[in-house]
Amino acid sequence: EADIYQTPRYLVIGTGKKITLECSQTMGHDKMYWYQQDPGMELHLIHYSYGVNSTEKGDLSSESTVSRIRTEHFPLTLESARPSHTSQYLCASRRQGGEKLFFGSGTQLSVL
Amino acid sequence: SQQGEEDPQALSIQEGENATMNCSYKTSINNLQWYRQNSGRGLVHLILIRSNEREKHSGRLRVTLDTSKKSSSLLITASRAADTASYFCATEATGNTPLVFGKGTRLSVIA
């Protein structure tokens, strides 16, 4: 098992709420990623970071933000949750020069 | 748009049979990777094949890569019920680009 942790594991919230999904890794990896996985299984890249104070947008980033103040921590924030945000959110990391990704167990978000 | 497309979308086989999943992609790649996902969990890396390799083995896994056809296949031999999971291919265009995942194949192995 990889040392990458996501909290909460499950979250049910109402429309319009602001939420932050947490992701932390203890492997010292510089590169971190957020993917959204829809019920049909396809993974969409939301945001990624190649180090502290570096963040980039992916294909599906317009309704969320991220920050990378510490190497080990890469939280994802939805400013105003909507039912269309209901999905599984997966955080992943890899070292600089590394090829394979290590994934957390995911956060299953339901927005009512 | 997504780079990889897996085929078939779902596959159901008996224990002991071989399972073959295919992946096609669109652009030049540095490497192609296969991941496994158990229901409701994160993905776990299985095997990586570089663009200059044609075949790679790891235990009961065999991966092939045909860069002229932009396709790869994952073969799981002598499948077990515990192999039941979703399998994804992911491509890396260069060393500094995020992995792009396909839509996955759901494999069910019936005991």
Structural contact between residues B39 and B55, judged by C-beta atoms closer than 8 angstroms: no
Q: Which among A4, A43, A99 has CB closest to B101?
A: A43
A75 touches chain B (CB under 8 A): no
Chain B contact residues (CB < 8 Å to A)? 2, 31, 33, 35, 40-45, 48, 86, 88, 90, 92, 95-96, 98-104, 106
φ, ψ at B26 (rounded to 5°): -110, -35
Closest residue by Cα to residue A97 from A28, A44, A34, A47: A28
pLDDT in tens, B16-57: 999 999 999 999 999 999 999 999 899 999 999 999 999 999
pLDDT in tens, A21-60: 999 999 999 999 999 998 778 899 999 999 999 999 998 8
CA torsion, points A5, A31, A38, A9, in degrees to nearest 10? 10
Whole-number pLDDT of residue B44: 96
Whole-number pLDDT of residue A62: 72
Could A43 and B48 be called an inter-chain contact, meaning their C-beta atoms sit closer than 8 Å?
A: no
Indicate whether B1 pLDDT > 50: no
Q: Which two tokens stand for residue A5?
A: 């942790």
Whole-number pLDDT of residue B96: 78
Indicate whether A11 pLDDT > 70: yes
pLDDT in tens, A62-108: 789 999 999 999 999 999 999 999 999 999 999 988 899 999 999 99
Cα distance between residue B19 and residue A59, in whole Å: 32
**Helix/strand/coil (H, E, C) string of B59-105?**
CCEEEEEECCCCEEEEEECCCCHHHCEEEEEEEECCCCCCCEECCCE
| Torsion sign (Cα): B13, B50, B69, B27 | positive
Whole-number pLDDT of residue B4: 66
Q: Which residue has the higher pLDDT, B95 or B82?
A: B82
Whole-number pLDDT of residue A41: 86
Give the nearest chain B residue to A1 (CA atoms).
B44
Cα distance between residue B91 and residue A29, in whole Å: 20
Indicate whether B111 pLDDT > 70: yes
Whole-number pLDDT of residue B3: 60
Indicate whether A1 pLDDT > 60: no
